[in-house]
Structures are given as C-alpha cells and as structure tokens.
Amino acid sequence: MSKRIGFVEPPAPIHIELDGEVVEAYEGESVAALLVLHRDGMSRRDRDGDARGLWCNMGTCSECFVRLLEHGRSRRVRACLLEATDGMRIATGSHTQDD
C-alpha cells in the first residue's frame, strides 16, 4: 500500500470526488498523488481491459490522463499537473475502457 509520510504537514483536508467516491485530499496536492494513494497508481484500463498506471509523474508520459468534470464539461487532463481543489470531480478510466 502507498502511504503519506510525515515530512510535510498538510493543511486542513478538503474533499474531492474520485469516480464517485469521496476521498480526503489537501489543497494543491496533485490528482496523480491521489491516484497513487487510492488506486495504486492506476489511471485507466486499456482496450484489452488491462490495468494501466501512471509512469513519469512529470507531464511527459501521458499515462495519467483523467477527466475533470466541471462547468457541465468533461475535460481530459494530465492528473500529475492537476491540483486538487475542494469539491473537484474526477473520473478515471479505471472502470471504463479507453475512449
């Protein structure tokens, strides 16, 4: 299991929705970090249904694309470059296959 360690003292927690499940997060934390904590780093299933994970955590590999659901839109963004904000809604491709 992944875990948080003590060298950072995060502020008061916020909440985001990850595939419909409410999870605790911290303002400014990356959504990729939340995928590591709550999904073992899984971001999607590929066209064969195989589980896929984020690779680089620095905006280069394009493996961590998730959908940011806001303003009545669904926008594909790299989770490693997306900072959590309170009430943010995220859909990963973990339950559906590539589109």
CB of 12 to another protein, least distance (A): 9
C-beta closer to another protein: residue 6 or 20: 6
Count Cβ atoms below 10 Å from residue 80 Cβ, excluding itself.
24
Count of residues in contact with another protein, rule CB under 8 A = 48
CB of 16 to another protein, least distance (A): 14
SS (H, E, C) 28-96: CCEHHHHHHHHHCCEEEECCCCCEEECCCCCCCCCCCEEEEEECCEEEEEEHHHCECCCCCEEECEEEE
Would you call 19 helix, strand, or coil by DSSP? coil
Binding mask 8-47 for another protein (x = CB under 8 A): xxxx--------------xxxxx-xx--xx-xxxxx--xx
- Which residues are near another protein by CB under 8 A? 1-11, 26-30, 32-33, 36-37, 39-43, 46-48, 50-63, 65, 75-76, 78, 81, 83
